[in-house]
Amino acid sequence: MARKKSWNEFSGRKKALMVVVSLVQISLTVAGYRDLAKRSADEVEGPKIAWGVAMLANWVGPIAYFAKGRKGLGLNT
């Protein structure tokens, strides 16, 4: 099994890529939580608490919420 690299062992380009990908993931999750908080239960497909927990799943949760969790946007009608 290969040993894990420490942060200092990555090149500057890989560090920058990891930071950008992390910021995109965090931004997507924050946007999902903000949207979920602003919507009433009638505007969300399924229980709000379930979507809140689902959004903890890295990329999958927030993308699923924006694709399937919101009612009345023409995407899931």
* Tens-place pLDDT, residues 20-55: 999 999 999 999 999 999 999 999 999 999 999 999
Cα–Cα distance measured from residue 39 to residue 32, given in angstroms and rounded to the nearest whole number = 11
Domain count, the chain: 1
Is 18 a member of any domain? no
Is 15 a member of any domain? no
62 C-beta neighbours (distance < 10 Å), count: 26
With cut-offs at 50, 70 and 90, classify the pLDDT of residue 73: low
Domain hosting residue 52, numbered range: 30-77
Is 8 a member of any domain? no
Is 35 a member of any domain? yes
pTM of the model: 0.79
Is 76 a member of any domain? yes
Is 45 a member of any domain? yes
pLDDT of residue 77: 47
Is 21 a member of any domain? no
Cα–Cα distance measured from residue 10 to residue 71, given in angstroms and rounded to the nearest whole number = 43
Q: CA 16 → CA 7, 20, 53, 66, distances in Å? A: 11, 6, 29, 27
